[in-house]
Chain A
Amino acid sequence: MIWEPIDDLVKSVKTGRTSAVELVNRSLKAIADNQEYQAIISVLKDNAMARAKLVDQAVANGEDPGVLAGIPFIAKDNFLVYGSDTTAASNILKGFVPPYQASAINRLEAAGAICVAKANLDAFAHGASTENSDFFVTKNPHDKSRVPGGSSGGSAAAVALGLAPFALGTDTGGSIRQPASFCGVFGLKPTYGLVSRSGVVAMGSSLDCIGPLTRSAKDAAIVLDVMSGRDELDSTTIDKNAAGYSGVKALNLKGVRIGLVKEYMGEGVNEEVKAAIKRAVEDLAKRGAIISDVSLPSLPLALACYYIITPAEVSSNLSRYDGVRYGYRDKQAADLFESYTKSRGHGFGKEAKRRIMIGTYVLSSGYYDAYYKKAQTVRTKLINEFAAAFSSVDYLVGPVAPTTAFKIGENAQNPLAMYLSDVMTVAANLAGIPSLSLPLAKDKQNLPIGMQLMAAQKKDYELLSLAMAVEETIK
């Protein structure tokens, strides 16, 4: 199933060439036809239909149906959406129906977009393969024996399979970009704070970003334009670009300074991935870009830093799942303490428990300075190194992940190998800068290879315009 570009689809809905109901039906049919990939946790058929009819009614009445009129989308199942179970793919939240809705969903709905389904993920977004989902593993659309990446693996697979024109993901350490790379779709992690986190199940609050997975940079820009900007329900949000994002044009590459991140092109990175990136960079040079190698000395520490700060915040953010007010509660518990230990013990999966324990440890008195505080110092250093880098180049580029999609089960028993999958993506989260993954090439096994582009904080517009220029090169 191939969807037309979002602005074409919206034009069709507005002019009556197609209808929102038709688009939603198309999406629902694609979902039904592709169940074997297990990208979807739940389908919001009735709600989606009701909204589609409202959009069509608005068109019929000559009212403005919004800039995303009738566009179906799929939200990762850690977005709270009215009328849908919101599980974060965890047993502890199974059956939880939220009484409020994510700000990002509110904004998309106000623009006429329609949430048709909720996508699979690693439970609580902890993982890089969706194998940590408490329910099932999503399969890579390019090779069913392989993972789609994660944690937004369901969202990436959904876009690759054409279940909807776009999907929403969350990216704490690469969870949009890495699955986008594995599934051959476009994935954007905006500047930290550009999209409200309100109503999205928190993972690592100082790193969590919300972004779109799409078929193109242009589609991502249109969706970002709707979702972004200050939200009074999230104090960490920032204003969006004054000009918005939807009017983004391909960058004229002449004289544009692009840095190839040295640390991402070294040992441990698949040769085919490296070769694809080198070729892309050469193409950019041919079109006038000035390419240089850029080194950020603290990058090798980023993963260690990430795996201290994130578990610390995870352990804190998961405290609320205590079985008292909502979610899973063990009915056999004899007293309060047992209610906590049993509800959380049975409700959380292995990876959540692993991160709660690491996080609890690094925050413990006596260890705080040695771990959490030191990691924050490294983080500050990294932020400064990125700032320095962006004073000499306009953009940084490199691979998204060391490999293409790996086999289901390949890393499942080895958490450290799994963590390494994030090694090139975590730095952008630690620094709060915008970063995206675009489908660049395929390896010999016909698996997608992604390219990562990064820009300075709040340069999301510029980053998207570079992405459009790269897309032109690939065509």
Chain B
Amino acid sequence: MTKNANYSATIGIECHVQLKTVSKLFSGAGNDARQAEPNTLVNHIDFGLPGALPVFNAQALSLASRAALALKTRPQKFSTFDRKHYFYPDLPMGYQITQYDQPIILGGKVEFTLNNEKKTVGITRAHMESDAGKSTHPAGKDYSLVDLNRAGTPLLEIVSEPDMHSSAEAKAYAKELYLLMRYADVTEGDLYHGNMRFDVNVSVSQDDSLGTRTETKNLNSFRSIEKAIDYEIKRQIEVIESGQKVVQETRGWNDAKGRTISQRSKENADDYRYMPDPDLPPIVIDDDYIENIASTMPSLPDELRLKLAKNGLNEAQIETLIEANVDIAPAGYLKLLDAYADDREAARTLANWLVNVDIPLFRDEPSFAARDRSKLYAAVLKLLNANALSSTNAKELIQACLSMPELPQAIEAYAEANGLLQQSDSDELSRVVDEVIAANPKAVSDVMNGELKVIGFLLGQVMAKTKGQANPGMAKQILEAKLLK
């Protein structure tokens, strides 16, 4: 038994989800700072000018309500905003507006399957708040730069219960949360640009009591969540084993070095002097409001998984499709499959092509994925069913078509022109088989003497003579019929 086996880890995750509103949480300035020049998405409210008052963005409320429904709960009918005070140059008002006392979401859960086991992670709460701006500190300079484009961007901070006990569980939770927020259409979910940022709270213990926790902040990929937690568990065990105590602190993740690093241990020093924000009346919603939002909710991953499984897709295919459907959203994978809901065979074939050809191709070139490919796949399926195409050539045909800037209009003609169609004309194939039999007397007599595997050699000859265009199944049948009757 290893030392580590004596320890159990407890993990909770806080996730900041950037809501995909058109404008900021409390101002009319634009909310998508990704392509914008610094300080161009800023008005008098974001700039914290004297006399500027926040005005709550109703779209943020609707998105937070969607998030609540995705987390299998309902938004609170009464919630309020508070001010959280601290000084920093990228916090223009000297306080962040957040929901400290009465948040929009209380309770909820995220369910997922890991290693064939069903897991549930509880949600403690989720609250809306405005983001701060961005500070940069140029090396060797005696100044810092502040960009307020992001100041006031709406965030939903989702706080989980400490229900996870391994990095794999934490990663699976984060991934499922990501999928839920994407499917509920709450966020753009651009992880690279920090649209979802994760803070992981980790502690280890040798008994039922909870150990001292650390919080590793600002992780923005599933892989870094997993690695940071693994590192932190190992580090904390080592600290305890060496007779020291784990310090409650905030840590950062250095991806290049693969380790967490102690940041200022400020947990107990800061006093944010929370107070209700007198500029913002409470948010009050009723059942009609919630029902109205609920009626616009799309199918969520759980429901989609069941549906795809009914179509005969395997688990790996399902997960790939469900992720790709939001990661390469313009490609509309699930919509493509929807057309074959009544045809399991076709659905499975198409899923196979999507997973093996379409998705790998468009991961790198998502701009091409927006083209309507329903006609292409219908045509290829038709050729395949008519035995005009081998499964290998079908994939090759799809790959070739998808790689073109414009999808070809006449798929069959294109396949024929490129020698991808197979020979399924039995008279023609019969003639070729006769030629091969005549040209290979030795092999023919071996087969007739019971060495059946030599048929493979003869089949190879048929394929060679037809330049690979023969339908191999049909050619084999004809060979066997002629030699073994």
Q: Which residues of A contact B (CB under 8 A)?
A: 78, 80, 86, 88, 93, 96, 98-100, 102, 197-202, 204-206, 232-236, 312-313, 315-316, 318-320, 322, 324-326, 336, 340, 360, 363-365, 368, 372
B271 at interface, CB cutoff 8 A: yes
Judging by beta carbons under 8 Å apart, are A325 and B94 in contact?
no
CA distance A185 to B377 in the complex (A): 83
The residue in B93, B94, B95, B144 that gathers the most chain A C-beta atoms within 10 A of its C-beta is B94
Judging by beta carbons under 8 Å apart, are B89 and A336 in contact?
yes
Q: Kindly provide the distance from the CB of B60 to the nearest chain A CB, expressed in whole angstroms.
A: 14
Q: Which residues of B contact A (CB under 8 A)?
A: 44, 47-56, 83, 85, 87, 89, 92-95, 144, 146, 271, 273-275, 278-281
CA distance A200 to B278 in the complex (A): 15
Judging by beta carbons under 8 Å apart, are B50 and A98 in contact?
yes
B45: nearest residue on chain A (CB-CB)?
A233
Judging by beta carbons under 8 Å apart, are B53 and A320 in contact?
no
- A205-B279, A364-B271 known; A320 and B94 CB under 8 Å? yes
* Residues of the A chain whose Cβ atoms lie less than 8 Å from the Cβ of B271: 364-365
Judging by beta carbons under 8 Å apart, are A197 and B85 in contact?
no
Majority-rule SS of B interface residues: loop
Judging by beta carbons under 8 Å apart, are B93 and A320 in contact?
yes
New contact pairs (4) apart from A233-B55, A325-B47, CB-CB < 8 Å: A78-B51, A98-B51, A236-B279, A324-B92
24 contacts between A and B (CB under 8 A): A80-B51, A86-B50, A88-B50, A93-B50, A98-B49, A100-B44, A100-B52, A198-B51, A199-B52, A205-B278, A233-B53, A235-B54, A235-B281, A236-B281, A313-B278, A316-B273, A319-B87, A319-B94, A320-B92, A324-B146, A326-B49, A363-B274, A368-B274, A368-B275
Judging by beta carbons under 8 Å apart, are A202 and B55 in contact?
no
Judging by beta carbons under 8 Å apart, are B95 and A235 in contact?
no
* Residues of the B chain whose Cβ atoms lie less than 8 Å from the Cβ of A88: 50
Judging by beta carbons under 8 Å apart, are A235 and B56 in contact?
yes
* Residues of the A chain whose Cβ atoms lie less than 8 Å from the Cβ of B278: 204-206, 236, 313
Q: Kindly provide the distance from the CB of B106 to the nearest chain A CB, expressed in whole angstroms.
A: 21
CA distance A313 to B146 in the complex (A): 27
* Residues of the B chain whose Cβ atoms lie less than 8 Å from the Cβ of A340: 87
Judging by beta carbons under 8 Å apart, are B83 and A316 in contact?
yes
* Residues of the B chain whose Cβ atoms lie less than 8 Å from the Cβ of A80: 49-51
Judging by beta carbons under 8 Å apart, are B95 and A199 in contact?
no
CA distance A98 to B95 in the complex (A): 21
* Residues of the B chain whose Cβ atoms lie less than 8 Å from the Cβ of A206: 278
The residue from A99, A318, A322, A363 contacting B44, defined by CB atoms under 8 A apart? A99
* Residues of the B chain whose Cβ atoms lie less than 8 Å from the Cβ of A204: 278
CA distance A325 to B429 in the complex (A): 83
- A235-B279, A236-B281 known; A201 and B89 CB under 8 Å? no
Judging by beta carbons under 8 Å apart, are B50 and A319 in contact?
no
- A235-B56, A320-B93 known; A99 and B49 CB under 8 Å? yes
* Residues of the A chain whose Cβ atoms lie less than 8 Å from the Cβ of B52: 100, 198-199
- A86-B50, A98-B50 known; A363 and B273 CB under 8 Å? yes
* Residues of the A chain whose Cβ atoms lie less than 8 Å from the Cβ of B83: 316
* Residues of the B chain whose Cβ atoms lie less than 8 Å from the Cβ of A93: 50
Judging by beta carbons under 8 Å apart, are A325 and B95 in contact?
no
Judging by beta carbons under 8 Å apart, are A199 and B51 in contact?
yes
CA distance A201 to B93 in the complex (A): 13
Judging by beta carbons under 8 Å apart, are B275 and A363 in contact?
yes
Judging by beta carbons under 8 Å apart, are B51 and A202 in contact?
yes
The residue from B55, B89, B95 contacting A316, defined by CB atoms under 8 A apart? B95
A344: nearest residue on chain B (CB-CB)?
B87
CA distance A203 to B71 in the complex (A): 40
* Residues of the A chain whose Cβ atoms lie less than 8 Å from the Cβ of B51: 78, 80, 98, 102, 197-202
* Residues of the A chain whose Cβ atoms lie less than 8 Å from the Cβ of B94: 316, 318-320, 322
- A93-B50, A98-B50 known; A319 and B281 CB under 8 Å? no
Nearest 9 A/B pairs, CB to CB: A319-B94, A206-B278, A363-B273, A205-B278, A199-B51, A320-B48, A201-B50, A100-B44, A324-B89
The residue in B83, B92, B271, B275 that gathers the most chain A C-beta atoms within 10 A of its C-beta is B275
CA distance A422 to B180 in the complex (A): 55
CA distance A199 to B51 in the complex (A): 4
CA distance A368 to B82 in the complex (A): 14
* Residues of the A chain whose Cβ atoms lie less than 8 Å from the Cβ of B92: 320, 324-325
A313: nearest residue on chain B (CB-CB)?
B278
* Residues of the A chain whose Cβ atoms lie less than 8 Å from the Cβ of B55: 232-235
Q: Kindly provide the distance from the CB of A77 to the nearest chain B CB, expressed in whole angstroms.
A: 11
Judging by beta carbons under 8 Å apart, are A325 and B48 in contact?
yes
CA distance A151 to B281 in the complex (A): 27
* Residues of the A chain whose Cβ atoms lie less than 8 Å from the Cβ of B93: 319-320
Q: Kindly provide the distance from the CB of B416 to the nearest chain A CB, expressed in whole angstroms.
A: 64
Q: Kindly provide the distance from the CB of B147 to the nearest chain A CB, expressed in whole angstroms.
A: 13
CA distance A206 to B54 in the complex (A): 14
Q: Kindly provide the distance from the CB of B32 to the nearest chain A CB, expressed in whole angstroms.
A: 23
CA distance A312 to B274 in the complex (A): 10
Q: Kindly provide the distance from the CB of A175 to the nearest chain B CB, expressed in whole angstroms.
A: 16
* Residues of the A chain whose Cβ atoms lie less than 8 Å from the Cβ of B49: 80, 98-100, 326
B54: nearest residue on chain A (CB-CB)?
A235
The residue in B50, B52, B83 that gathers the most chain A C-beta atoms within 10 A of its C-beta is B50
B272: nearest residue on chain A (CB-CB)?
A365
Q: Kindly provide the distance from the CB of A433 to the nearest chain B CB, expressed in whole angstroms.
A: 17
CA distance A312 to B82 in the complex (A): 13
Q: Kindly provide the distance from the CB of B94 to the nearest chain A CB, expressed in whole angstroms.
A: 2
* Residues of the A chain whose Cβ atoms lie less than 8 Å from the Cβ of B44: 99-100
CA distance A360 to B95 in the complex (A): 13
Judging by beta carbons under 8 Å apart, are A96 and B50 in contact?
yes
- A98-B50, A197-B51, A234-B53 known; A372 and B275 CB under 8 Å? yes
* Residues of the A chain whose Cβ atoms lie less than 8 Å from the Cβ of B279: 205, 234-236
The residue from A234, A320, A336, A364 contacting B50, defined by CB atoms under 8 A apart? A320
CA distance A320 to B86 in the complex (A): 10
Q: Kindly provide the distance from the CB of B387 to the nearest chain A CB, expressed in whole angstroms.
A: 67
Q: Kindly provide the distance from the CB of B54 to the nearest chain A CB, expressed in whole angstroms.
A: 8
* Residues of the B chain whose Cβ atoms lie less than 8 Å from the Cβ of A325: 47-48, 92
The residue in A99, A312, A316 that gathers the most chain B C-beta atoms within 10 A of its C-beta is A316
* Residues of the A chain whose Cβ atoms lie less than 8 Å from the Cβ of B281: 235-236
A198: nearest residue on chain B (CB-CB)?
B53
B51: nearest residue on chain A (CB-CB)?
A199
CA distance A365 to B274 in the complex (A): 8
Q: Kindly provide the distance from the CB of B270 to the nearest chain A CB, expressed in whole angstroms.
A: 9
* Residues of the A chain whose Cβ atoms lie less than 8 Å from the Cβ of B48: 320, 325
Q: Kindly provide the distance from the CB of B134 to the nearest chain A CB, expressed in whole angstroms.
A: 14
* Residues of the A chain whose Cβ atoms lie less than 8 Å from the Cβ of B89: 322, 324, 336
